[in-house]
């Protein structure tokens, strides 16, 4: 649970009488527990469809007038940032509430120097016509590319400068959220898929977030609208038009299919009836009641169904033990993996089933060369690889050997100083990057060797190892040594063989 003093409080000022419950997080960020999500705007503008931005801004201002004062958007949600900026101006002109603006920056992996990060933030500010964004949420496509730590460090500087109020993440899993925090980056929120269908965030992510006072923002809590009375007892749709439901149908399929989904909907409907609320309210409430949830993001199609009166009701009741037991009993199969995996590995649970809406291609993680026929090497760019005459990894035939790897960033600095589990996460990403650069995957790893300097870290590091290799189960050796060069807590090497 988030500490008691951080749980929701109602805003008290006169202007906010109609406000929804607010939550103030340990970071000091205050936001409505029901956040208005604007991804749907990208769908409404799809294929260049005409969309009246002024009318959309008026429609969005109505949300704030009725207390829905927190808006969520991103660099790739069509004109959402422009429309939110216009809505903020309309509200300011009439003395209405100032909306809290959450946007996202989802850059293509590559160098994240100060100028690149500043440009990312300034682009959002220009579109919003604002001089500060309340929360800049950062998404990263592949952890094997380590530049995300540079991006987050630069965002910290822009926060000091006042361009960014708070730093949020989106689609970070538990291990990487924890690692980023241990690296000293101050994170207010992490936005992830979270619903009665997709319960991944209720596990380790909730534990890490609660421990560190990070608020989870759940999206997909209504599975694009499927989690509503409208779909109870309805045949599986033969065709789906909107991106949101295309995506969540993939989740439904992964969690066991339409019939099992109907069973879950039926259970939610019984609970809804008992409380005199809607099926959607029960689904949203379940997410809100999880231990680290700061808010739920409900997607809106501006100018279409608003659902405001209904969504307000999710704040006026609580699930009892019998309700929770009934939801647990009707639960579908777990969505495999951790939060954000749907954007990082197959099967991609995105609208298109791949990353084609987002990226053309992911850049190579390491530089690969073939110094002599049949022998390839992968280099991470560390100056020591040349100075000491070794490669990060070498491939000969089907065999790949990865050098002893520490949590050294591309600039030669140590990542997560003093935290062996955080270092292990960084190292295993580097190893995954080295193996994939040479044509393999972690599935091909046959052996790992872990060297620790502090025996007390064995369990935490082993648990990280299990997150990467749980199903693969390579042979493993765990050794405690007196000291590692560079003062690291852990070093790992690996051997793989391709099929």
Ligand X SMILES: NC(=O)c1ccc[n+]([C@@H]2O[C@H](COP(=O)([O-])OP(=O)(O)OC[C@H]3O[C@@H](n4cnc5c(N)ncnc54)[C@H](OP(=O)(O)O)[C@@H]3O)[C@@H](O)[C@H]2O)c1
Q: Given the rule CB under 6 A, which residues bind ligand X?
A: 37-40, 72, 170-171, 191, 219-225, 228, 244, 278, 280, 297-299, 301, 304-305, 307, 310-311
Q: How far is the CB of 308 from ligand X (least distance, A)?
A: 8
Q: How far is the CB of 38 from ligand X (least distance, A)?
A: 5
Q: In what order do the strands lie in the sheet with 9-10?
A: 9-10, 21-24, 30-32
Beta carbon nearer to ligand X, 305 or 477: 305
Tell the burial category of 246 from Cβ atoms under 10 Å away from its Cβ (0-12, 13-18, 19+). middle
Rounded-to-integer distance, Cα 256 and Cα 132, Å = 44
Beta carbon nearer to ligand X, 248 or 451: 248
Beta carbon nearer to ligand X, 42 or 208: 42
Beta carbon nearer to ligand X, 190 or 408: 190
Q: How far is the CB of 340 from ligand X (least distance, A)?
A: 8
Q: How far is the CB of 356 from ligand X (least distance, A)?
A: 16
Beta carbon nearer to ligand X, 27 or 170: 170
Instruction: Give the residue from 496, 486, 392 showing the smallest Cα distance to 448.
Output: 496
Q: In what order do the strands lie in the sheet with 367-372?
A: 367-372, 375-379, 393-396, 399-405, 490-497, 445-452, 475-480
Residues whose CB is less than 8 angstroms from the CB of residue 469 and which lie 6 or more positions away in sequence, other chains included: 442, 445, 448, 476
Beta carbon nearer to ligand X, 120 or 299: 299
Q: How far is the CB of 433 from ligand X (least distance, A)?
A: 23
Tell the burial category of 177 from Cβ atoms under 10 Å away from its Cβ (0-12, 13-18, 19+). buried
Rounded-to-integer distance, Cα 308 and Cα 301, Å = 12
Rounded-to-integer distance, Cα 441 and Cα 464, Å = 17
Q: How far is the CB of 427 from ligand X (least distance, A)?
A: 27
Residues whose CB is less than 8 angstroms from the CB of residue 13 and which lie 6 or more positions away in sequence, other chains included: none
Cis ω for the linkage preceding 341 (within 30 of 0) = no
Q: How far is the CB of 416 from ligand X (least distance, A)?
A: 25
Give the CA-trace dihedral at 191, 194, 200, 201, to 10 degrees.
Answer: 50
Beta carbon nearer to ligand X, 332 or 366: 332
Give strand pairing partners of 262: none
Vertex 280, ends 297 and 204: CA angle to 5°? 55
Beta carbon nearer to ligand X, 43 or 444: 43
Rounded-to-integer distance, Cα 44 and Cα 37, Å = 13
The residue of the chain with the least Cβ separation from ligand X equals 37
The tokens of 286 are what?
């379940």
Q: How far is the CB of 426 from ligand X (least distance, A)?
A: 23
Beta carbon nearer to ligand X, 140 or 426: 140
Q: How far is the CB of 106 from ligand X (least distance, A)?
A: 8
Give strand pairing partners of 296: 34, 218
């Amino acid at each position: 649970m988030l500490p008691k003093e951080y749980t929701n409080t109602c805003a008290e000022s006169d202007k906010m009488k109609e406000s929804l419950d607010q939550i103030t997080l340990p970071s000091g960020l205050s936001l409505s527990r029901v956040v208005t999500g604007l991804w749907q705007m990208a769908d409404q503008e799809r294929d260049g469809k005409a969309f009246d931005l002024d009318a959309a801004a008026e429609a969005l201002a109505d949300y704030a007038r009725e207390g829905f004062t927190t808006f969520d958007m991103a660099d790739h949600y069509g004109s959402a940032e422009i429309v939110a900026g216009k809505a903020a101006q309309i509200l300011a002109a009439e003395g209405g509430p100032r909306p809290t603006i959450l946007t996202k920056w989802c850059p293509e992996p590559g160098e994240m120097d100060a100028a690149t990060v500043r440009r990312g933030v300034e682009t959002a500010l220009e579109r919003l016509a604002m001089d500060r964004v309340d929360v800049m949420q950062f998404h990263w496509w592949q952890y094997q590319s380590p530049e995300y730590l540079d991006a987050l460090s630069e965002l910290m500087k822009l926060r000091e400068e006042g361009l960014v109020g708070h730093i949020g993440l989106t689609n970070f899993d538990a291990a990487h959220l924890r690692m980023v925090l241990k690296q000293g980056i101050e994170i207010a929120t992490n936005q992830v898929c979270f619903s009665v269908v997709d319960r991944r965030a209720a596990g380790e992510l909730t534990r890490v977030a609660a421990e560190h006072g990070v608020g989870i923002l759940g999206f997909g809590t209504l599975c694009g609208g499927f989690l509503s009375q409208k779909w109870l007892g309805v045949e599986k749709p033969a065709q789906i038009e909107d991106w949101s439901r295309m995506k969540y149908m993939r989740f439904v399929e992964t969690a066991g299919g339409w019939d099992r989904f109907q069973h879950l909907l039926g259970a939610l409907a019984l609970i809804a009836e008992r409380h005199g609320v809607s099926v959607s309210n029960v689904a949203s409430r379940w997410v809100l009641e999880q231990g680290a949830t700061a808010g739920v993001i409900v997607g809106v199609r501006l100018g279409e169904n608003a659902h405001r009166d209904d969504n307000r009701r999710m704040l006026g009741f609580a699930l009892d033990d019998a309700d929770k037991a009934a939801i647990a009993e009707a639960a579908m199969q777990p969505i495999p993996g951790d939060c954000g995996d749907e954007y990082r590995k197959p099967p991609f649970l995105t609208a298109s089933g791949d990353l084609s809406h987002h990226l053309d291609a992911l850049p190579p993680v390491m530089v690969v060369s073939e110094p002599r026929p049949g022998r390839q090497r992968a280099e991470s760019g560390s100056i020591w690889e040349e100075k000491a005459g070794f490669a990060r990894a070498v491939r000969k035939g089907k065999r790949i050997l990865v050098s002893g790897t520490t949590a050294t960033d591309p600039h030669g600095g140590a990542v997560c100083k003093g935290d062996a589990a955080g270092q292990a996460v960084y190292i295993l990403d580097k190893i995954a990057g080295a193996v994939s650069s040479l044509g393999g995957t972690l599935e091909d790893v046959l052996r790992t060797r872990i060297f620790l300097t502090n025996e007390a870290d064995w369990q935490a590091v082993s648990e990280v190892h299990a997150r990467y290799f749980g199903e693969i189960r390579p042979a493993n050796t765990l050794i405690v040594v007196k000291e590692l060069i560079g003062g690291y807590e852990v070093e790992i090497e690996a051997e793989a063989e391709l099929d």
